Amino acid sequence: MKKLEEYVRSIPDFPEEGIIFRDVTSVLQDADGLKLAIDSMQELLKDLDFDVVVGAESRGFVFGTPIAYNLHKPFVLVRKKGKLPCETISKEYDLEYGSAVIEMHKDSIKPGQRVVLVDDLIATGGTIQAAAELVEELGGKVVKIIFLMELAGLKGRERLAKYEVESVIRYEGN
């Protein structure tokens, strides 16, 4: 059986020189890799008491939905501004160059619900921090944040220091 890291394609000098891009599509395109990724992320939730899985657009949907399905939990979407049809709350956050806005439906989290956030990759942590703040604004409690991959050199975990954070694969660089 291959290790999960063996399914991740590493592309040097993308999007710029000196960066090693960790491509999750190579995991998704292999049935064994996809199963191993979902199973490994789900294992991070073993024995955790929670009510809802929240996934950030778009790869958080890819990993969060099967986890929610397997554990018989509801799944809540965090989307880019203007993509959700009902009443929303929003949060602006900083990107490397500029800013972005994400939204959740106002009725997606009930006060007191225990929430797990799921995404494919933690880099600087800005998107998932904004998602966690939306959950809290609705009265939910973030009990864990899980990622398939972590780029430790970008220090996203430090930004999320008040939460329990785990990743399946940890790359020391950026």
- Within 10 Å of residue 101's Cβ, how many Cβ atoms? 13
Strand 75-80: give its sheet, edge to edge.
88-95, 98-105, 75-80, 52-56, 114-122, 141-151, 165-171
Catalytic residue among 22, 59, 79, 157, which? 59
Give the position of tokens 């991740």: 8
Identify whether 59 is a catalytic site residue.
yes
Of 16, 87, 96, 172, which is the active-site residue? 96
Known catalytic residue at 96: yes
Q: How far apart are the first and last CA of the chain?
A: 27
Contact call for residues 119 and 128 (beta carbons, < 8 A): yes
Query: Rounded to the nearest 10 degrees, how much is the dihedral formed by the CA atoms of 145, 121, 47, 112?
Result: 30
Whole-number CA gyration radius for the chain: 16
The amino acid at residue 42 is Q
**Pairwise CA distance, residues 90 & 134, whole Å:** 7
So which residues are the catalytic ones? Answer: 59, 96
